[in-house]
């Protein structure tokens, strides 16, 4: 797949939806893309832990954590597992931790912030439903493109050069 350059994608495909510029790029892959899979949870990473244990097949996991800045849902172990299982990236509308390690993991990671405290694990949350994060509704099967310039979403995979 050609390199992801979101400004070029926006120029060539003005119909894409652009997430508000609130994310920090923290993973080992600065640019990534793939079909969207979703999780909705709040301060509980149980569904995220389940998802990264499954084959990602190049998908991007979009996690609507309600914008919580009170704990991290993704750290070094889950990120490493996601990379080993073939996920292209994780976009987290919440926080991550272990950022020095995340920078070396072959996974795209964008999040609102960084927090040292881990989340709860009560088995709460939902998967594979539409979620609205940073002003955009994302549905499973949408196609997400992310780089240091931002995150854009299309209804389907775009023909990019």
Q: Is the Cβ–Cβ distance between 19 and 135 less than 8 Å?
A: yes
Q: Give the C-alpha separation, 138 to 112, whole Å.
A: 17
pLDDT number for residue 1: 61
Average pLDDT value for the chain: 96
pLDDT number for residue 76: 97
115 in a structural domain:
yes
10 Å Cβ neighbour count for 117?
10
Residue range 69-101, pLDDT digits in tens? 999 999 999 999 999 999 999 999 999 999 999
| Share of residues in the chain with pLDDT > 70 (%) | 98
52 in a structural domain:
yes
Q: Give the C-alpha separation, 88 to 24, whole Å.
A: 16
Tally of domains in the chain: 1
119 in a structural domain:
yes
CATH of the domain at 61: 3.50.30.40
Is 70 exceeded by the pLDDT of residue 22?
Answer: yes
pLDDT number for residue 120: 85
* Local structure of residue 141 (DSSP, 8 states): T
Quick one: residue 25, left, alpha or beta (phi over 0 = left, psi -120 to 50 = alpha)?
A: beta
| Share of residues in the chain with pLDDT > 90 (%) | 93
Q: Give the C-alpha separation, 68 to 60, whole Å.
A: 20
14 in a structural domain:
yes
Q: Is the pTM of this model over 0.85?
A: yes
Q: Give the C-alpha separation, 129 to 103, whole Å.
A: 29
pLDDT number for residue 58: 98
145 in a structural domain:
yes
Confidence of residue 3 (pLDDT cuts 50, 70, 90): confident
Name which of 149, 27, 155, 151 is nearest 82 in CA terms. Answer: 27
Domain with 95, as residue range(s), is 6-154
């Amino acid at each position: 797949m050609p390199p992801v350059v979101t400004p070029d994608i926006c120029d060539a495909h003005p119909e894409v939806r652009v997430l508000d510029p609130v994310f920090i790029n923290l993973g080992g892959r600065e640019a990534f893309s793939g079909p969207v899979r979703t999780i909705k949870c709040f301060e509980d990473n149980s569904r995220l832990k389940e998802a990264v244990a499954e084959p990602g097949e190049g998908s991007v996991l979009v996690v609507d954590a309600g914008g919580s800045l009170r704990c991290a849902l993704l750290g070094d172990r889950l990120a490493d597992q996601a990379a080993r299982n073939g996920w292209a990236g994780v976009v987290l509308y919440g926080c991550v931790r272990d950022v020095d390690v995340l920078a070396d993991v072959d996974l795209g990671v964008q999040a609102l912030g960084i927090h040292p405290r881990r989340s709860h694990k009560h088995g709460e949350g939902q998967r594979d439903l539409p979620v609205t994060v940073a002003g955009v509704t994302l549905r499973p099967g949408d196609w997400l493109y992310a780089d240091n310039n931002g995150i854009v979403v299309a209804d389907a995979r775009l023909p990019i050069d």
